[in-house]
Amino acid sequence: MLSVRALRCACNAPHVTRSSAPAISALLAPIRLSSSSATATVEEQDENGEADEIVSRERDLNKPKNPSSQLAMMFGEEHAKKNHSISWDLRKLDLELMRIYSRQRAITETVKGPYRVRTVARDQEKSVKIDVRDNKVFVQKSTIPNIWLRDNCQCGSCMHEATKQRLLDTFSIPKDIAIKTHSFDGSVLKIEWSDGHQSEFSREFFSRTTNPERQNAILRQGLTTVKLWDSTIASDPPKEYYRLTGRAKIARVLLKIRQYGFCYVDDTPITPKATKGLLERIAFIRNTHYGGFYDFTADLASKDTAYTNIALEAHTDNTYFSDPAGLQAFHLLSHTDGEGGASLLVDGFKVADELCKTDREAYEILSTVNVYAHASGNEGISIQPYRAFPVLEHDSLTGDLLRVRWNSSDRASIELPIDKVETWYDAARKFDALLKKKENEYWEQLIPGRVLIFDNWRVLHGRSKFTGKRRICGGYINRDDWISKYKMLQLGREKVLGSLASG
Ligand SMILES: [Zn+2]
């Protein structure tokens, strides 16, 4: 079962093109090139794929067959038996190798450390020295390859002025494209290329080419300085007022969500329509198997614990999706004939930072061990992400914490050999204890008119149990869509689009 589980992961070193070639030939090299299933044996053609192939092989290994009588006749009984025995040994080795590679792929799939929780992000323009010599542009001490520069020509015939999409056929550029002449016009570098084309590049265009990754990530991901918080945020939580959140002003809400991971929008009309309209000022509402914008009363219509009245521990939503929702919003429209149902928020980045500082090993385990999740409550549905992800996910270029995935109810398998899974449980127990520390829990009773919008990649949410009838509306927004809106409003189109080639 374990090898089956491990094989579900996407490929990483060593890469193997899915193959159905016979086991012995596979042993000749760890990289198998056959991608065709045309030569598959009957057992290997099973529609369940590679996993079944392995199960089937394991079954085979337990039941060795006698060498065929044809072989015995051709080579003699003794040779045939020897050949048979060697071939079984090779198949066993093949199986073992597949297990080892699976494990290697699972490990290398996660981002390597050192990790950290980034809190400061200041975008600083730096002035760079640009030189042209020996047919090459130099920015500081880095050489800018001519092919890259020509490919990123910013002129209207190479790049669509409105959409910033490339119009130029990259591979029509000669491999040996060269600078014929150049001149500086103020801070603009003008180049005439050997293919006759003329380009102009600004100093700002070049400055980002030599930026450290951490600097470029600020613009690409819309990072800002983050304020980590604990339960004391209750005295002054981030909030805005509905009347001040028009299309252009929604940036104020988004900035607070970027800084704190959540923001209230007070004095919102107590209707689903106004709430939906507010969310749509950010971006379109995401559809899932639960629907799009929801307006529900606790009745277990959608078979998920969120739709009941029981207490929910702090968790993130959508761990069962490859791409969990970026934002989530709640608006309590009414609560009648009962009490309870206080909302719980926990700053996942703050708690991760605490773990990172107090137990580095546990932090590393939660950052490297992939975990699956599922959503199977609705009829005919069992969703799993296309691969497993660690609880703490980091930016592959900077090592900065990007996303927290934490939902014990929806957790499926842990991508470790069964005799090693305790290491994950030990690390997760420590994270869980920090999440449940009183000082980290911010409790608030939601009230009609107050919309809670929070970053589902950072802030965990939960609630206490309640009695009576609660009507809540809300929805999800994709991460890429809300960050896009935030960037365009906060940083401006020119800055965001000006950094596409080098950021
Ligand atoms: Zn051009």
Span 418-435, pLDDT tens digits? 999 999 999 999 999 999
In a domain, 500, yes or no: no
Q: How far is the CA of 145 from the centre of ligand 1 (A)?
A: 16
In a domain, 272, yes or no: yes
Q: How far is the CA of 219 from the centre of ligand 1 (A)?
A: 25
In a domain, 123, yes or no: no
Q: Are residues 174 and 84 in the same domain?
A: no
The per-residue pLDDT for 103 is 76
Q: How far is the CA of 159 from the centre of ligand 1 (A)?
A: 7
Q: How far is the CA of 169 from the centre of ligand 1 (A)?
A: 11
Q: Are residues 102 and 55 in the same domain?
A: yes
Q: Are residues 202 and 236 in the same domain?
A: no
More confident residue, 5 or 241: 241
Q: Are residues 203 and 238 in the same domain?
A: no
All residues at 6 or more sequence positions from 81 whose CB lies less than 8 Å from its CB, including other chains = 67
Q: How far is the CA of 127 from the centre of ligand 1 (A)?
A: 25
- The residue whose two tokens read 């009183």 is 438
In a domain, 150, yes or no: yes
The phi and psi torsions of 352 (rounded to 5 degrees) equal: -60, -40
Q: What is the dihedral of CA 165, 168, 174, 179, to 10 degrees?
A: -80
In a domain, 435, yes or no: yes
Q: How far is the CA of 147 from the centre of ligand 1 (A)?
A: 13
SS3 304: coil
CA distances from 18 to 50, 77, 114, 365, 384 (A): 8, 36, 33, 29, 21
Q: What is the CATH number of the domain that holds 375?
A: 3.60.130.10
The per-residue pLDDT for 107 is 67
Contact (CB, 8 A) for 230 and 439: yes
Q: Are residues 386 and 449 in the same domain?
A: yes
Q: How far is the CA of 52 from the centre of ligand 1 (A)?
A: 53
Share of the chain above pLDDT 90, in %: 58
| Domain endpoint, select from 56, 77, 108 | 108
d(CA 395, CA 227): 19
DSSP state of 5: H
Q: How far is the CA of 168 from the centre of ligand 1 (A)?
A: 8
In a domain, 222, yes or no: no
Q: How far is the CA of 475 from the centre of ligand 1 (A)?
A: 44
d(CA 116, CA 80): 60
SS3 73: helix
Q: How far is the CA of 153 from the centre of ligand 1 (A)?
A: 5
d(CA 120, CA 333): 37
Strand-pair partners of 476? 328
- Is the ipTM value over 0.95, yes or no? no
Q: How confident is the model at residue 56 (pLDDT cuts 50, 70, 90)?
A: low
Q: How far is the CA of 180 from the centre of ligand 1 (A)?
A: 15
Q: Are residues 337 and 275 in the same domain?
A: yes
Q: Are residues 149 and 72 in the same domain?
A: no
Q: How far is the CA of 162 from the centre of ligand 1 (A)?
A: 15
Q: What is the CATH number of the domain that holds 188?
A: 3.30.2020.30
Q: Are residues 449 and 397 in the same domain?
A: yes
Q: Are residues 78 and 154 in the same domain?
A: no
More confident residue, 300 or 334: 334
Q: How far is the CA of 128 from the centre of ligand 1 (A)?
A: 23
Q: How far is the CA of 201 from the centre of ligand 1 (A)?
A: 10
Is the confidence at residue 16, as pLDDT, over 60? Answer: no
- The residue whose two tokens read 């703490």 is 392
Render pLDDT for 128-179 as a digit per residue (tens, 0 to 9): 899 999 999 999 889 999 999 999 999 999 999 888 899 999 999 999 999 9
Q: How far is the CA of 484 from the centre of ligand 1 (A)?
A: 27
Of 217-231, 244-258, 265-279, 347-361, the range with the lowest mean pLDDT is 244-258
Q: Are residues 191 and 242 in the same domain?
A: no
The per-residue pLDDT for 23 is 39
Q: How far is the CA of 167 from the centre of ligand 1 (A)?
A: 9
SS3 163: coil
Q: How far is the CA of 222 from the centre of ligand 1 (A)?
A: 29
Q: How far is the CA of 305 from the centre of ligand 1 (A)?
A: 56
Q: How far is the CA of 158 from the centre of ligand 1 (A)?
A: 4
pLDDT, the chain, mean: 85
- What is the CA 280 to chain-centroid distance, rounded? 23
Is the confidence at residue 5, as pLDDT, over 50? Answer: no
Query: Burial, 180: exposed, middle or buried (Cβ in 10 Å; 0-12, 13-18, 19+)?
Result: middle
In a domain, 400, yes or no: yes
Q: How far is the CA of 421 from the centre of ligand 1 (A)?
A: 56
Q: How far is the CA of 244 from the centre of ligand 1 (A)?
A: 43
Tokens of 415: 């991508």
Of 242-246, 486-490, 491-495, the range with the lowest mean pLDDT is 242-246
Tokens of 427: 């690390």
Q: How far is the CA of 93 from the centre of ligand 1 (A)?
A: 56
Q: How confident is the model at residue 344 (pLDDT cuts 50, 70, 90)?
A: very high
More confident residue, 157 or 47: 157
Average pLDDT score over residue span 20-35: 40
The parent domain of residue 487 ranges over: 231-493
Q: How far is the CA of 151 from the centre of ligand 1 (A)?
A: 8
Q: How far is the CA of 178 from the centre of ligand 1 (A)?
A: 14
The per-residue pLDDT for 281 is 94
Contact (CB, 8 A) for 117 and 349: yes
Of 210-219, 242-251, 429-438, the range with the lowest mean pLDDT is 242-251
In a domain, 282, yes or no: yes
Q: Are residues 426 and 382 in the same domain?
A: yes
- The residue whose two tokens read 């006759």 is 196
Q: Are residues 92 and 40 in the same domain?
A: yes
- Total domains in the chain come to 3
